[in-house]
Amino acid sequence: MSAGAVDPTTTEAWARLAALAESYEPDLRRDLTAAWVERQTLTAADLHVDLSKNLVDADVEAALLALADQVGVAARRDAMFAGEHINVTEDRAVLHTALRLPADASLTVDGQDVVAEVHEVLARVYDFADRVRSGAWTGVTGRRIETVVNIGIGGSDLGPVMAYEALEPYRQDGVSCRFISNIDPTDAGQALAGLDPETTLFIVSSKTFGTLETLTNARLCKAWLLDRLPDGSDPQDAVARHFVAVSTALDKVADFGIDPDNAFGFWDWVGGRYSMDSAIGLSLVVAIGPEHFAEMLAGFHAMDEHFRASPPEDNVPLRMGLLNVWYANFLGAHTHAVLPYAQLLHRFPAYLQQLTMESNGKGVRWDGSAVDYETGEVFWGEPGTNGQHAFYQLIHQGTRLVPADFIAFARPAYDLVDEVDGERVDVHELLLANFLAQTRALALGRTADEVRAEGVAEELVAARTFPGNRPTTSIMAPALTPSVLGQLVALYEHITFVQGAVWGIDSFDQWGVELGKQLAQEVRPAVAGDASAAAGQDPSTQALIRFYREHRSSEPRLGDPA
């Protein structure tokens, strides 16, 4: 393993930040001046990013930028873009940024012409999607495809689902998508309910083509299809017309019975959680069309260029990643909320959970040495305004520091007007008023004197006081277009990168998910009633298995989920 991840705590900048944190007394009422807002408002592609309501001053900002410098964030970023093997524990390049390079760019890595390969697969993906969309690709009985079912989990599911929801206005009528991810048979059962096998196409999406959930669900769907197609349909033809695959393991795809001509590849230098802009996005391409998908890729690329080429002070992913480090390591934040004021982004926080937490939930640096500082925060969120009526109480008045990113768009997806007492109310403006009010309330709070001035009884003043100084970043864009979605995802990819680079960890492996997978295989016989396998389990697990076996009343049906 390569030597030499920098321990950030040994840098001068870390010591400086620790000292600054000791004496730092935020006061956004004092500090939120027009000059500060102007200085803290940055632009990245189409994103307008207001950092002014964060808990930093000029000294903290300078020390954070010095920290990035002293741990070598820029050198690591450049190494990533150049295709060096910065995924040390898997000895791989990390090149999701190559997935969105324009066709005339050039990048050769490990002897491979990466750009040519990416565009060759993209051309096949676009051609296939066009054939499905136009009806040229039919099912085995000659009927056109009406539903595409993506079978995949983690990075082979969350990106496509999130983007399918986010870009709903760009979907084509006539072809809709469903998604099956969970090993819970309910997922397949529900997704298949009401579908017509003759008009359904399955995409088996799995980087490794070895994931238990995905292969189980793929087999269930195959059984469902073959059971329901009209008599006389040839099973091999049926699978060839109704199953395609996306994977890096094309040999395993063929073993499953999928025609290699109907398989779309990608590469081990694309991490699962960084793969929605590879062929893993096939279901999305069918839904929104190649042109819109290409616009999304251009949006990703615009943010890549911003991250690669902008000076540190103006570099939004760098600045936001460093703010997260400040909160996590110096101000004691454990979580980070992402709050889209856009219903179409309702799966965005779930998508970010895998991106950020599978990347940065690590306890050792990339050279194997243990960290003695906090790493990856818990990312979470819900769309505003739903969250306001659920958990914002804790963010406003609770005892914990919860930095939050607020995201909103100038143009609504649905432009609706309400009428109240004869007055027309633009409903999108109501949404935006909430977006603005929340960040203002969090920043400025409400003092006890202000509460008293409202005539509140003295015994209720404390409960009705808002401390303020709760940090937020506001991100706005003109509209949630495919390009802007690409920009947003790339922004968070690079924020995640910056944090991982400061912490010296490998943000691109995921060994922490392996143990549970292995133990699930070991415990399976015990769950199925094998007494000697159960005897090898710990007492708690044994008791839970006993409960299961006492209460499981029916026998499962073979194969068919619905």
Binding site for ligand F6P (CB under 6 A): 153-156, 206-208, 211, 214, 272-273, 358, 510, 513
Question: Which ranges of 374-426 would DSSP assign to H, the alpha helix?
Answer: 392-397
For the CB of residue 271, give the shortest distance to ligand F6P in the complex, in Å.
7
Q: Which CB, 76 or 273, lies closer to ligand F6P? A: 273
For the CB of residue 366, give the shortest distance to ligand F6P in the complex, in Å.
17
For residue 178, the surrounding DSSP H or E stretch is strand 176-180
Is residue 358 flagged as an active site residue? Answer: yes
Cβ–Cβ under 8 Å, residues 98 and 83: yes
Find the catalytic residue in 313, 334, 517, 522.
Answer: 517
Question: In 3D, which of 299, 284, 302, 324 has the Cα closest to residue 500?
Answer: 324
Is residue 389 flagged as an active site residue? Answer: yes
For the CB of residue 122, give the shortest distance to ligand F6P in the complex, in Å.
19
Q: Which CB, 390 or 519, lies closer to ligand F6P? A: 519
Amino acid at 472: T
- Four-residue CA torsion sign, 277, 185, 347, 132: positive
Question: In 3D, which of 316, 378, 306, 338 has the Cα closest to residue 162?
Answer: 338
Cβ–Cβ under 8 Å, residues 107 and 98: yes
Distance separating alpha carbons of residues 89 and 318, to the nearest angstrom:
24
Q: Which CB, 318 or 490, lies closer to ligand F6P? A: 490
Amino acid at 395: I
Cβ–Cβ under 8 Å, residues 387 and 432: no
End-to-end CA, the chain: 49
The token duo for 22 is 């000791």
For the CB of residue 248, give the shortest distance to ligand F6P in the complex, in Å.
8
Find the catalytic residue in 12, 120, 291, 389.
Answer: 389
For the CB of residue 435, give the shortest distance to ligand F6P in the complex, in Å.
31
- Which letter, b or e, does each residue of 92-121 get, where b requires 16 or more Cβ atoms within 10 Å of its Cβ? bbbbbbbbbbeeeeebebeebebbeebbeb
Q: Which CB, 163 or 229, lies closer to ligand F6P? A: 163
Q: Which CB, 171 or 347, lies closer to ligand F6P? A: 347
Q: Which CB, 233 or 354, lies closer to ligand F6P? A: 354
For the CB of residue 189, give the shortest distance to ligand F6P in the complex, in Å.
21
Beta bridge partners of 176: 147
Distance separating alpha carbons of residues 137 and 123, to the nearest angstrom:
16
For the CB of residue 349, give the shortest distance to ligand F6P in the complex, in Å.
17
Q: Which CB, 215 or 456, lies closer to ligand F6P? A: 215
Sole residue written with tokens 């990312």:
379
The token duo for 387 is 């969250």
Sole residue written with tokens 């990416």:
118
Find the catalytic residue in 198, 295, 358, 493.
Answer: 358
Q: What amino acid positions are annotated as catalytic residues?
A: 358, 389, 517
